[in-house]
Structure 1
Amino acid sequence: MRLTILGIYLALLNVLDLLYNLIGIKLFNFNYINLGLFNTLWTIVYVISIRFTNIFVDRGVFRKIVSVSILFNILMTISILQSVYTGNVVLYYLSYCIYAIVISQTRLPIYTSILEYYDSDKWSIVNKTLLYKTIIFEGIFLVTYSHIDINRIIENLYMFLIIIISLGFITVYAIPQPIFPIERIVYKIEKSISRMLTPTRSSFIVSFQPMYLPDKFSIYSDLLSKSFINKKEVLTILFFLKISNELLFTPLPLILLSKIGVSLTNILQVYGLAKLMTFTLMIALNPKPLNPISITLAILMRAFSAIILLTFVNNIYMITALITLIFYSNAVLDACLYNLYLETSSGYRTGDYSIISELACLTGSISSGFIITYTGSLTILLPILISTITFTRILKKI
């Protein structure tokens, strides 16, 4: 029940993010550059906020941070409603910045509280469960909203925002708040001991191999490399993954509107169905976060889906299928990197993971509009291919 509440709340906040962009297109006539700058400003505020949030979260303060986020949530609600009903674009930008603070003070405490509340051997399972719940509810909400005219959505936006605030209060009590947050300390000690024993264990295993076997030293090398995945390498790959995602998804609503001719409610439907199909795929395939086969499949699926989406497709059903594959691939790859980061950081400074992620989004957001406007959508494929190549570097270390 706890994870269900958290999943619903995160899903509602994610839906609001898409609504912000669509309302900007509808009411304020956002173009590619406007959308890029809009999301860039969000990212700047998010990065600043996450830096401060991370200080308290690393000290085990979770519920108080989420409580503070509700105050910003109320302020965001007032500002967005005022901007929408008066047509004040500056206030609309401001409300989106406040929304960034709400997100930073919600996601980080939730995901870090999991690391303290659950045993380290359950981190992967619990994170995956929360991801599944978030995706399924996000899909349900988006599909539901896709059956409502965008003008009606805007007129009744206050109802949606009130629901978010109400669920925020429930989330404060649902979020885990351990009395003694020591699980990450225990995990860090375990990892340190494990790394100290790795050379001994490797030597012991290799000593039982006949000397004439040519792969004796490769066995030793592999055992060592698996224990020392570099945190900086993980964050570098994360950066390229996120920047390519942002270059694709920031202008995607406008690409669909201009090139395919879909409506704003169609976009909600496409994203909603894609989320539901992503959930179905994840249940059916049950990808393991650090499984080389799952990761390789996700890497290839993401690259080919993006190429087809931006070059050949003009059918809404095919678009939905391709976005589904990209959503699925991103979920698998992000889960892989997050789990690798937890291993290398012992669960501490998870805010750094978010900061690198959002700095990549900042770069992608601020450049996406100019790239699309002056070079065309096909240019986006280059960073996607680069991120594909960089990801293959850690496959042999998993």
Structure 2
Amino acid sequence: MKFFNLSEPIEYEALMPGRHNRWGNDALLFRVNKGTGKLTTKYGTDKSGDTYGFLLLDNKPLINSYGEELYCPTCAKVLSMGLGRENVNQSLIDTIKHSQNVGNDIKVAFENIKPMLSILEDGYYLLTRIEMIPTDGEGNFFWNLPSSKKLYKATADVYYKFHISSGTPKFLLPSQSIACLNKERVSHYVDQLNHGKSMTGLAYYYEGFMSTLLDGHHRATAAYIENKSIDCLTIVKVTGLGFNQDKKPDKIYAGGEIYDFNLFSKPERIYKYLKKIMDSRKWKLETQEVEELLSACQCVWIHETATTENDFGKRIYPDYLSIAFSDMAGDVSDERVHDVMGRRDEEAEFELEMIFKKLELQEPKRAIELAKRIINDANWKVLLEEAFRYLASIDSTEVEDIFIKYLIDTDHDPKDVCRKIAHEYLNNR
């Protein structure tokens, strides 16, 4: 007797509280079974043996990646704009746009976005909300992704002083050409922002610290102009399995996070399905398929009217290193600071540097107090320059007094960077 598979194409699996990830919001784990595979990431080599990666929508590349570095997690990736969302079937675009009608609760959002989730390929995914920064991770306006190749440092994990920070979804790549920018629409959203409305978008996690914005380009542009973030409902694919010392599966990897199997009621089911998907090697493109995708992009680019980058000026946002250091810092309580400053070893030096960087990003008042403690503690001269550079970014009479005192109390030394920082600060006030 034959039994039919009556499982739902989109199935809820578990809800993980925000304390289990670095972006701090609840993440809903769901399974795609018999998805259409219209939105997918695939890899392959061309006839010359060069490696390429593509984020595909309806078999049209939105983002192209290049080089052997695609398989290196700490190597920055070279990217270019693909054909763009504007060259995809309009019904798919409408499906993506309609998914923006979501509620604040992630479970409600999941129910509303189910029609769109069916365009994913089979596998497990997270659905979560992340406050995205509308830059490329280095302070540049996110939409200026060219059709020519460009290195994106924020596509890689960060390796710093023998420590690694996995990428946290925080910055944006566009899924359509900058030629699609409509300044009237941007002005409309800027006006909404100025009247208290938050900007929202839909994103798909790409790699490192980067996600691809599927919908909300004009809202993200308005957020950039006003130096604000954009609240993105974000899809994160589960990309790997982890095993314990007995070689038994005990965790999954998604968006730079590790989730233990003890968070789930049916871990064996998750393992079996993921193993089946990974063994299928559906991510692999044949050489001819790679050549066809590249040829399609070249045909569009050749006939494309040259467009210049839109310059909205520079805004003050954290870069990808600031986010990575903040993630490395962990607990920044007063008790932890006291404990670390009481130690005298290389690990304590690293920990205090990360704590300081996190406070700079999230708690400026405490960062100032920590900078003052570092300056007044002879045991922490190793972070003296870091403290001076931070204080020099603050316009206050208190900082002025600190710098004057330092210049009076220390002898002139042409190699003393802190004296130079203090002089420049005082001369510019």
Indicate whether the TM-score tops 0.5: no
Q: TM-score, normalised by structure 1?
A: 0.24
Structure with the higher strand share, 1 or 2: 2
Q: TM-score, normalised by structure 2?
A: 0.23
RCO higher in 1 or 2 (8 Å CA, sep ≥ 6)?
Answer: 1
Structure with the higher helix share, 1 or 2: 1
